[in-house]
Amino acid sequence: MRFEHETLPQRVRFAPGDAAASVLAEVERLGGSRVMVIAAPGESDLAAQVTAGLPVVLRHDDVVMHVPVATAERARAAAAAHDVDVMVSVGGGSTTGLAKAVALTTGLPVVAVPTTYAGSEATSVWGLTEGARKTTGADPRVLPRAVVYDATLTLSLPVAMSVASGLNALAHCVDSLWAPRTDPIAQALAGEGIRALAAGLPTVVTDPIGLTGREHLLYGAYLAALAFSSAGSGLHHKICHVLGGAYDLPHAQTHAVVLPYVLAFNAPAAPEAERRMATAFDAPTAVEGLRRLRRAVDAPLALRDHGFDEAHIDDAVRAILEVVPAGNPRRVTAQNLRRLLRAASRGADPATVAAMGG
């Protein structure tokens, strides 16, 4: 067994019902005395709860999904104008993403308090969009210094969004099993992540105001992000990245829809990953495990329901082919990619993708 694995330096606290005290402790550890709180308008009540005891000099709510460059520039200027020394982000991946964009150019430390299951808080990946083009990169400066997970903060996330976001986390696990830098540690994290998410998702659907399912999802989302951060982007993420950036599709729902197609496509050519996933799902096969889970939680079905127009398929295929990871278990061609996107667009049975040739 020979591999190299990098563990990112970050403090993590799970503190159900107790985020405020944990955030205060983390801000004090960082010596923060001029705090910028970043939270979208829909997250401001949660942010107010969490940041009540902090030395806040600025509350910033100008948050936009996929972080347009102009949005990042406004936040950077506001941080400079208020002489901020620590940022606290309270919200989903878009909010965390804005804090990371500010950290990228200023080096300001971030304490992240996630309220969805996107997992951005545990990666050093940043993303910015300009026009229809999304650029991502990895930089140690953007990794939040501390993360505070408090499942009570996710109780207000509507069930449909919780399902999409939890499946986004599941996609981090699945894709990290065959991503370019996958290794046994990332695979172990991914397997445990799948187990936790597969347990948490149906529980959140049947008991949305209970904490048990939400805690499973946060724990699974964190493991998923660690696995993804270490293994890098596999085919699934490359597809979703192109679709999300070029056609302005909602992030979590896009991942939720595309995942079964990429799994069905790659799994027959990745038997070890397949066995690990099947075990984690407690199902005869990985594809069947995901099918059962998606049915139990009424998962989003088709890209066209989320704003994707099939007229874009050929353009999307061209853009995706340029970024397909070299080590993908199956050869990706214009023909099989076109069929995969068409099936995902219409919500067709993923088994049709498993069977197709090059």
157 lies in the binding site for ligand NAD (CB under 6 A): yes
71 near ligand NAD (CB under 6 A):
no
Q: Does 176 bind ligand NAD (CB under 6 A)?
A: no
Distance, in Å, from the CA atom of 73 to the CA atom of 58, rounded to the nearest integer, reads: 16
Residue whose CB is less far from ligand NAD, 119 or 202:
119
x-or-dash string of contact with ligand NAD, 219-238, rule CB under 6 A: --------------------
Nearer Cβ to ligand NAD (92/202)? 92
Q: Which is nearer to ligand NAD, 91 or 109 (CB)?
A: 91
Binding flag, residue 109, ligand NAD (CB under 6 A): no
Stretch that binds ligand NAD, among 151-159, 276-284, 299-307, 311-319 (CB under 6 A): 151-159
| Runs of H (alpha helix) within the chain | 19-29, 44-51, 69-81, 93-106, 159-176, 184-206, 211-231, 235-247, 251-266, 271-281, 286-297, 313-321, 334-346, 351-355
Which of 143/353 has CB closer to ligand NAD?
143
Side chain identity at residue 272, one-letter code: E
Q: Least distance (Å) from ligand NAD to the CB of residue 351?
A: 28
Give the angle subtended at the CA of 280 by the CAs of 277 and 282, to the nearest 5°: 105
Q: Is 65 in the site for ligand NAD (CB under 6 A)?
A: yes
CB 85 within 8 A of CB 33: yes
Q: Which of residues 30-59 bind ligand NAD (CB under 6 A)?
A: 40, 42-43, 46
Using the contact rule CB under 6 A, the part of the chain among 47-55, 87-95, 312-320, 342-350 near ligand NAD is: 87-95
Supply angle C-alpha 58, 64, 68, rounded to 5.
Answer: 105
In the bound state with ligand NAD, the residue whose beta carbon lies nearer, of 231 and 287, is 231
66 forms part of the interface with ligand NAD (CB under 6 A): yes
DSSP symbols for 229-265: HHH---HHHHHHHHHHHHH---HHHHHHHHHHHHHHH
Q: Which is nearer to ligand NAD, 85 or 175 (CB)?
A: 175
Of 105, 156, 285, 336, the one binding ligand NAD (CB under 6 A) is 156
Which of 217, 205, 228, 222 has its CA nearest to residue 298?
A: 205
DSSP string, 158-204: -HHHHHHHHHHHHHHHHHHTTSTT--HHHHHHHHHHHHHHHHHHHHH
The Cα–Cα gap between 327 and 183 comes to 13
Confirm or reject binding of residue 256 to ligand NAD (CB under 6 A): no
Exactly one of 32, 109, 127, 191 binds ligand NAD (CB under 6 A); that residue is 127
Beginning with the edge strand found earlier in the chain, give each strand of the sheet holding 146-149 in spatial order.
11-14, 146-149, 110-114, 86-91, 35-38, 56-60
Q: How many CB atoms lie within 10 A of CB 163?
A: 27
Counting contacts by CB under 6 A, is residue 153 touching ligand NAD? yes
Binding site for ligand NAD (CB under 6 A): 40, 42-43, 46, 65-66, 91-95, 97, 115-116, 118-120, 123, 125, 127, 153-154, 156-157, 161, 165, 168, 251-252
